[in-house]
Amino acid sequence: MTAEQMEHIIEYLPTKEERKALEAYMLEGDQDAADKFDGLCECEKFMVAMMTVKHAKRKVRALLFKLQFDGCLDSLEQGEFRFGLSVECRCGHAHVFLVVIRCQSC
């Protein structure tokens, strides 16, 4: 699953108002809950299913973070590499300069 797909899932998690409306719909009347569920559209079925997951939004965001983490780390490493190259081109002592930068950030 991609990060973009995960972001779209977050958009379809039920809000408090949607949760209340769906709970009221599922509990009212004489019709069986399974029959009511079958009458819902796909996104409403997803919302009903996600209502049973505690802290669903937190969990999905944690999965999104996990998906994005490696890309962010790679981007930081590439930035550090480019920074080192530019310093080396300008002053010829990039290794000393990077050691100083790393020590200051500790």
- Report the mean per-residue pLDDT for the chain: 80
Percent of the chain with pLDDT over 70: 71
What is the token pair recorded at 10? 């977050």
Instruction: pLDDT band for 106, please (50, 70, 90 cuts).
Output: very low
Instruction: Tell me the pLDDT tens digit for each residue of 6-21.
Output: 999 999 999 999 999 9
Instruction: Tell me the pLDDT tens digit for each residue of 42-52.
Output: 989 999 999 98
Q: Classify residue 24: in a domain, yes or no.
A: yes
Q: Classify residue 41: in a domain, yes or no.
A: yes
Secondary structure in 3-state letters for 54-105: CCHHHHHHHHHHHHHHHHHHHHHHHHHHHHHHHHHHHHCCHHHHHHHHHHHH
Please check the confidence at residue 29 and state whether its pLDDT lies above 50. yes
What does the chain come to in residues? 106
Among 24-33, 39-48, 96-105, whose mean pLDDT is lowest?
A: 96-105
Mapping DSSP to helix (H, G, I), strand (E, B) and coil, where does residue 39 land? coil
Which residues constitute the domain of residue 35? 1-53
Q: Classify residue 67: in a domain, yes or no.
A: no
Q: Classify residue 105: in a domain, yes or no.
A: no
Number of separate domains in the chain? 1
What average pLDDT does this structure show over 60-89?
74
Q: Classify residue 30: in a domain, yes or no.
A: yes
Per the CB < 8 A criterion, the answer to whether 22 and 44 are in contact is: yes
Q: Classify residue 81: in a domain, yes or no.
A: no
Instruction: Tell me the pLDDT tens digit for each residue of 83-93.
Output: 665 655 565 55
